[in-house]
């Protein structure tokens, strides 16, 4: 299975480590705007380095392409790869705008290639167990959070480039809410925009957000986020049903019922499991192995962009 990469920075390293454990995965081509970074990746795996993805696609024969670029960095590689019959793994969020995401989605569907989005939480054993334990239960309420600090890369703190915390990191929590509870149909957001609290003079993203959610099945919820913490934060989702409360975070699930509480820990590597599933789906054609295809990524992006729009307009927004 010949694999190429567009983007060899932070998140790509997690995929390098995972794919290096899969025998049939051959990492052969690496493209990055920073030539030294692409060359380091190529040297690690014995592949070739590029600074232009068009040149890479013209010169290489690939079965799959991993797209690991910032939200604003999607510039046609997905569409070009799909036209060549190359299967796509795209890191979240799938684009900076919904219009662009829908264009890429249409290209993938037209080409008939397989796609996966890097919502790796869906591949934790703890999340699998949570989904099983919530199956068929009426959900009363959801609470989620991605409360932490500011990532160090400059593009992240510019709203036009990253979309801010809602779009870039908290997307994982919105996606978990969709995966465990159901579709989100309306949002209302309160946002705090105080650039002086970002500790970066060129930053303009919100410091914190509180998003109220309405689900298609009638459940309600709230998701909070902040990038202003220097103290320990919180990442996770809590789902309330009449007789059972299920809480998840990374590889842990806590289940509480009357007179009973159980903690479940999964020691698995979700980056490895999602790549194993992706490559097996390509090999066998079994699309059910893919828990978040590109269309799922578009749906989660739509929710986060609606939440961002609501925070800026001060009005509820239908997704």
Q: CATH number, domain at 253?
A: 3.30.360.10
Asked if 62 and 28 sit in the same domain, the reply is yes
Same domain for 238 and 142: yes
Q: Tell me the Ramachandran region of residue 76: left when phi exceeds 0, alpha when psi lies from -120 to 50, beta otherwise.
A: left
In sequence order, what DSSP letters do the residues of 174-227 get, joined into one string?
HHHHHHHT--EEEEEEEEE--GGGTT-TT--S-SEEEEEEEETTS-EEEEEEES
Q: Which domain holds residue 76?
A: 2-120+272-292
Q: Say what the pLDDT of residue 195 is.
A: 84
- One domain for residues 52 and 114: yes
For 33-54, give one letter per residue: b (16+ CB within 10 A) or e.
eeeebbbebbeebebbbbeebe
- Each of the 319 residues of the chain gets a pLDDT tens digit; together they read 999 999 999 999 999 999 999 999 999 999 999 999 999 999 999 999 999 999 999 999 999 999 999 999 999 999 999 999 999 999 999 999 999 999 999 999 999 999 999 999 999 999 999 999 999 999 999 999 999 999 989 999 999 999 999 999 999 999 999 999 999 999 999 999 998 888 777 899 999 999 999 999 999 999 999 999 988 899 999 999 999 999 999 999 999 999 999 999 999 999 999 999 999 999 999 999 999 999 999 999 999 999 999 999 999 999 9
pTM: 0.97
Query: Does 259 share its domain with 128?
Result: yes
Total domains in the fold of the chain: 2
Q: Does 88 lie in the same domain as 12?
A: yes
Helix (H) or strand (E) holding 32: none
Q: Looking at the structure, do residues 263 and 278 belong to the same domain, yes or no?
A: no
The token pair at 95 is: 């684009």
Q: Give the whole-angstrom CA distance, residue 68 versus residue 66.
A: 6
**Residue 112 has what pLDDT?**
98
Same domain (yes/no): 77, 188: no
Statement to judge: residues 224 and 288 lie in one domain: no
Terminal Cα distance for the chain, rounded: 38
Q: Are residues 28 and 69 located together in one domain of the fold?
A: yes
Q: Which residues does 2 contact at the CB level (< 8 Å), separation at least 6?
A: 26, 28, 60, 61, 62, 63, 64
CA distances from 152 to 155, 221, 230, 260 (A): 9, 30, 13, 42
Length of the chain: 319
Same domain, 81 and 132: no
53 with 6: CB under 8 angstroms?
A: yes
* 312 phi, psi to nearest 5 deg: -85, -30
> Cα–Cα distance between 85 and 131 in angstroms, integer?
33
CATH number for the domain including 62? 3.40.50.720
The pLDDT of residue 199: 74
The per-residue pLDDT for 231 is 87
**Cβ(307)–Cβ(186) under 8 Å?**
no
Residues 90 and 142 in one domain: no
Query: Do 115 and 30 fall within a single domain?
Result: yes
Q: On the CB side of 143, how many CA atoms lie within 13 Å of its CA?
A: 8
What does DSSP say about strands 141-147 and 234-240: parallel, antiparallel, or unpaired?
antiparallel
Tell me the helix, strand and coil percentages in the chain, rounded to 5: 40, 25, 35
């Amino acid at each position: 299975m010949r694999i190429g990469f567009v983007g060899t920075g932070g998140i790509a390293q997690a995929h390098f480590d995972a794919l290096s454990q899969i025998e049939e995965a051959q990492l052969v081509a690496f493209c990055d705007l920073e030539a030294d970074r692409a060359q380091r990746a190529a040297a690690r795996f014995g592949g070739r380095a590029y600074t232009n993805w068009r040149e890479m696609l013209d010169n290489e024969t690939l079965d799959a392409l991993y797209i690991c670029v910032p939200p604003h960095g999607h510039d046609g590689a997905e569409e070009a790869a799909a036209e060549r019959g190359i299967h796509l793994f795209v890191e979240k969020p799938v684009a900076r705008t919904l219009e662009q995401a829908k264009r890429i989605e249409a290209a993938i569907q037209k080409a008939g290639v397989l796609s996966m989005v890097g919502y790796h939480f869906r591949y934790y054993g703890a999340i699998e167990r949570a989904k099983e334990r919530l199956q068929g239960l009426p959900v009363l309420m959801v609470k989620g959070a991605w409360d932490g600090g500011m990532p160090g890369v400059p593009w992240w703190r510019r709203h036009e480039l990253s979309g801010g915390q809602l779009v870039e990191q908290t997307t994982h929590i919105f996606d978990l809410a969709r995966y465990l509870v159901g579709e989100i149909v309306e949002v209302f957001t309160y946002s705090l925009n105080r650039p002086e609290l970002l500790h970066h003079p060129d930053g303009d993203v919100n410091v914190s957000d509180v998003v109220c959610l309405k689900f298609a099945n009638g459940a309600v919820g709230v998701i909070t986020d902040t990038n202003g913490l220097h103290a320990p934060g919180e990442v996770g989702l809590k789902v309330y049903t009449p007789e059972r409360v299920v809480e998840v975070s990374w590889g842990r699930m806590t289940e509480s019922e009357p007179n009973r509480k159980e903690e479940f820990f999964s020691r698995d590597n979700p980056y490895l499991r999602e790549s194993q599933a992706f490559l097996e789906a390509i090999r066998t054609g079994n699309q059910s192995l893919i828990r978040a295809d590109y269309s799922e990524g578009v749906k989660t992006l739509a929710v986060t962009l609606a939440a961002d729009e609501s925070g800026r307009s001060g009005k509820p927004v239908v997704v």
